[in-house]
Structure 1
């Protein structure tokens, strides 16, 4: 009978509930005669003993009575904790062996350890999500990352409600897994947001905002998935034979796409989408297998929509023309500048550093405004090629901000200003010239979408 389970592993796993994993696993094992009635009764008794202990913790042993709905919630939490440990096993055979040979209390204790590890991992994923976030004004996206998910960690109760999903997570993913609950839901959500952010990072943030405005002028207040809109528009450019990382699609592009695809069979259309997906991967030099799998799943989901818009002659609703009006410029608001005395103290500290890495660390920790960053370059505390190392340590958006500063001052020719001004601007120009063409083009595009 054990061989039957192993040989039919795929069918066996498919019959298990992702949400109620432990309960469904026990039921299936019983239906396959791998657990006898006496085994089921023993498991139930052990679970009830854990529940009794948990109720004692919940009431602090001050009461033996509890509202039914609270007791049911704690029972579901016990089941979820047991399930999350069994899911973590490398093979189904090992999960089955654990149920048959180990005490349920042992499985529960191990499940609590898995829960704690997942909470720590998800908090790390949230930091990555914040670091890679798309620069957008979409309210649901901002609110979910800044408030909704942090609220989950604040209110999540791994002991008495490990299956719960507190917080406020409104931003929709391109691909969501509705069967996941508890910390598994957050883990899946954050991993996917990071993939979506990574894809969007290939494109100019100002063009992404223009794309959202082209989709709908009130896109900031809509529950829309940014990644999916970006992916579809870039796919449209690939299909139209356009090169580069722009998201711009014109009326002429749509006319060409319609004429090219309107008479394709379903099989021919799928082949065309697959070829465009492969070209997309090469154009962006994507090596992340998980990202490509996510892109593939998303395109499989949206391909029928593209086909439908071709048939109804409404391609403008899926391949969007960017709205590049002035109001879509990304308005940069500078951080708070340091007081003069504090600024002078820090620049003295920077001047005394013998290593450029130490200077970079101080700049990163102490300066939180563009004004202070520009001023420190002219403060005679950074010398020669240290400027280049510091520019390399900046992210693309910060470099783009410096480009805007220089462009606004019209000093790219380095003809005036103090000697210190001339030095850092000259080094900045040298740094820009050292960049490869693609990276330089990306930074220039970012700078063009910033209004200081």
Structure 2
């Protein structure tokens, strides 16, 4: 018999309900002749004793009877409490031994202890949720944390309704275990919100808000999962080869993403996204195994959507362009440009210089507009690595202006313009790639916040 149970362990567990664990366990054991009808009847009598005692608590011993609906709810609570204890056993065989040797009252008492411990644990988890919360104006997110979850603890009834999930949980998780109930559901929910908050904390909150605005300008009122949107966009950034922690996806990025994904088989697409998820964890130095598992499970859920958006040419709906508010955008007004005669004279003077230091001095003293700087870089008066030296002499904002000027929604695009323009575009890319990640990210961020 023991070998039979061991061999059937996996099959049995697949038949058990997470929400109605105790009832489904008895059904599986009886249908496989592991509990006789006599043993089932004995269990039912023990359950009636616990029900009678609990009803006494419910009526404060003023009555031994209650409405049928109330009795049914109390019995469901008893089942839930028993199931909570039996779920903690490592094997079905252990559960059978406990039922046969310890009795239902013993299991119920142990289940009550677990319930109380889990309630205390969840109240601690709520404190962590509040400590790690995102300062994002999404009303479902705010209301769930500030009102909905605290209401659960105010109304949760361990003795008479442990199977219920009171409160108001409106904010959707990326992966929501709806098959759970009661304190188990709350425990799972809180742990996942903490994981989601932890992941989002790796990114600038202003960028997250810009991402949500890019997704839908009415994001404050929508039931959306912030973590999944952030994860998806950052996956896109990883696939385009961007460093740092920017969430920005441009139109050009989506063209590139489509080009590398549209001809892949299902297996090839899964492999590409899976490798990007692994690189993502390395990029952010994520070592929390629970968070890594949660990211991978969410990525699996994202995959079918990616496939559909590729086929329908609507990647903009999943890889989102950030929407910066007017207050986040710097309106750049260019300086006064040189007249044609003065410009020709300066470029000839630059061309005649044998030292790059002299060329830099002329540029810094005579060029006072972005238009003239761009024209000088394209005027065949600067050569080879002189470009790098000149870029080094410019400040970060001037470099950001050049990046903005060359981007056209595709950062570091070097494939358009005249040959002279292509040359300095390429040298600018080389210069940026030689910077450390933090400096490069800062310059790109500045460029994305400029409106030329």
Gaps spanning 5+ residues in structure 2: where?
Answer: 330-435
Cα distance, 1:135 vs. partner? 1.5
SS in 2 for 1:58: helix
SS in 2 for 1:61: coil
Tell me the equivalent position of 1:108: 108
Equivalenced residue count is 341
Mapped partners of 2:93, 2:199: distance in 1: 37
Tell me the equivalent position of 1:314: 314
SS in 2 for 1:8: helix
Moved more, 62-71 or 180-189: 62-71
Mapped partners of 1:123, 1:232: distance in 2: 31
Mapped partners of 2:328, 2:231: distance in 1: 20
State TM-score, norm by structure 2.
Answer: 0.72
Cα distance, 1:293 vs. partner? 0.6
Mapped partners of 1:215, 1:64: distance in 2: 58
Tell me the equivalent position of 1:244: 244
Tell me the equivalent position of 1:284: 284
Mapped partners of 2:240, 2:203: distance in 1: 18
Cα distance, 1:437 vs. partner? 7.9
1:93–1:68 CA distance, 2 compared to 1 (3 A): same
- Cα deviation digits, residues 408-427 of structure 1 (max 9, x gap): xxxxxxxxxxxxxxxxxxxx
Tell me the equivalent position of 2:373: none
- Cα deviation digits, residues 384-417 of structure 1 (max 9, x gap): xxxxxxxxxxxxxxxxxxxxxxxxxxxxxxxxxx
1:38–1:272 CA distance, 2 compared to 1 (3 A): same
SS in 2 for 1:319: coil
Tell me the equivalent position of 1:178: 178
Cα distance, 1:90 vs. partner? 3.1
Mapped partners of 2:30, 2:328: distance in 1: 61
8 Å Cα contact 1:141/1:171 also seen in 2: yes
Tell me the equivalent position of 1:153: 153
Tell me the equivalent position of 1:132: 132
Mapped partners of 2:77, 2:328: distance in 1: 47
Mapped partners of 1:439, 1:181: distance in 2: 48
1:82–1:327 CA distance, 2 compared to 1 (3 A): farther
**Aligned ranges for residues 223-372 of structure 1 at < 5 Å?**
223-326=223-326
Cα distance, 1:36 vs. partner? 1.0
Pick the structure with greater CA Rg: 2
- Cα deviation digits, residues 320-376 of structure 1 (max 9, x gap): 0001114679xxxxxxxxxxxxxxxxxxxxxxxxxxxxxxxxxxxxxxxxxxxxxxx
Tell me the equivalent position of 1:18: 18
Mapped partners of 2:439, 2:169: distance in 1: 34
1:148–1:327 CA distance, 2 compared to 1 (3 A): farther
Cα distance, 1:229 vs. partner? 0.1
The answer on 1:142 being equivalent to 2:120 is no
Cα distance, 1:312 vs. partner? 0.3
Mapped partners of 2:127, 2:437: distance in 1: 31
Mapped partners of 2:439, 2:243: distance in 1: 15
8 Å Cα contact 1:213/1:328 also seen in 2: no
1:439–1:41 CA distance, 2 compared to 1 (3 A): farther
CA RMSD of aligned residues (A): 2.2
Moved more, 94-103 or 295-304: 94-103
Cα distance, 1:64 vs. partner? 2.6
1:231–1:201 CA distance, 2 compared to 1 (3 A): same
Mapped partners of 1:320, 1:154: distance in 2: 39
Cα distance, 1:441 vs. partner? 7.7
SS in 2 for 1:273: helix
Cα distance, 1:178 vs. partner? 1.2
Deviation beyond 4 Å, 4+ runs, structure 1: 436-442
Mapped partners of 1:191, 1:95: distance in 2: 27
1:437–1:127 CA distance, 2 compared to 1 (3 A): farther
Gaps spanning 5+ residues in structure 1: where?
Answer: 330-435
8 Å Cα contact 1:209/1:328 also seen in 2: no
Tell me the equivalent position of 2:50: 50
Mapped partners of 1:326, 1:270: distance in 2: 38
